[in-house]
Amino acid sequence: MFTIFVAIDIKGGRVVRLLRGDPAAATVYGEDPVATAAAWQHQGAGYLHVVDLDAAIGGAPPNTAVVKGIVTDVGVPVEVAGGIRSLEAIDAWLAAGAARVCIGTKALDPAFLGAALDAFGRDRIVAAVDARDGLVQVAGWQESSALATGEVIARLAGAGVARVLFTDIGRDGTLEGPNLAATKEVLSAGIGVIASGGVSGVGDVEALVALGDPLLEGVVVGRALYSGALALSDALAAAGGAG
């Protein structure tokens, strides 16, 4: 089943979208993230991808209460991301009702990753791989590692990770279309993949579905939905139905 994950990125208590991961290039799309989440559910969203940008980037108080409000108030699964760097934080989010937790920077720590998978199970943990120009980014996309994307994906697959959230930061928020070549490269590692970054319209969803790879579990869509370039109903139809 190919899933449309509706993105709700939160900064300063508001729903925003960043351009290529730049906190200074934020467009505000809503003042009430919980109401936004409920509205997407009402329109048919089957899964939400909620990111606390302040927790990921630092420099501002995290939006913990707001994210918890979404998790507890909506009736669809929620994938929580942003600054989750301890086993205690993972446990707290899952206990609060999150369906899955995404870890990014700490997924590069083999000991931590192994402990997380052992403690919470492969299906509850998503490893976020955020790449720019072929290199994995860390610290809320603000720092570059020296690790190539393929190297990291292979390491995660070997560690037993069930799925990765792969974001091409250079495409994120640009409406320029997803990086299909990079997505196919990630899929070649034999690991479940959620694509993210660049979806501009229904044709991009159709192009991802047309790859025909059962390991491609879905796509995170943000700016295209908020800007009106893509109707959620059309995205769901292209994906093959609700969800």
52 is catalytic: no
For 76, half-sphere exposure in the C-beta direction (CA atoms, 13 angstrom radius) is 22
Contact 194, 218 (CB under 8 A): yes
Q: Find the catalytic residue in 9, 52, 54, 172.
A: 9
> Residue 129: helix, strand or coil by DSSP?
strand
Strand, helix or coil at 128? strand
CB 129 within 8 A of CB 167: yes
If you write DSSP's letter for every residue of 56-78 in order, what string do you get?
A: HH-SS---HHHHHHHHHH-SS-E
Q: Spell out the residues 6+ positions from residue 149 whose beta carbon is closer than 8 angstroms to its own.
A: 129, 131, 134, 135, 136, 166, 182, 185, 186
CB 236 within 8 A of CB 243: yes
Q: How far apart are CA 32 and CA 199, in angstroms?
A: 24
Q: Which residue among 22, 32, 118, 130 is the active-site one?
A: 130
130 is catalytic: yes
Instruction: Say how far apart CA 129 and CA 60 lie, in whole Å.
Output: 23
Helix (H) or strand (E) holding 43: none
List, by residue number, the catalytic residues. Answer: 9, 130
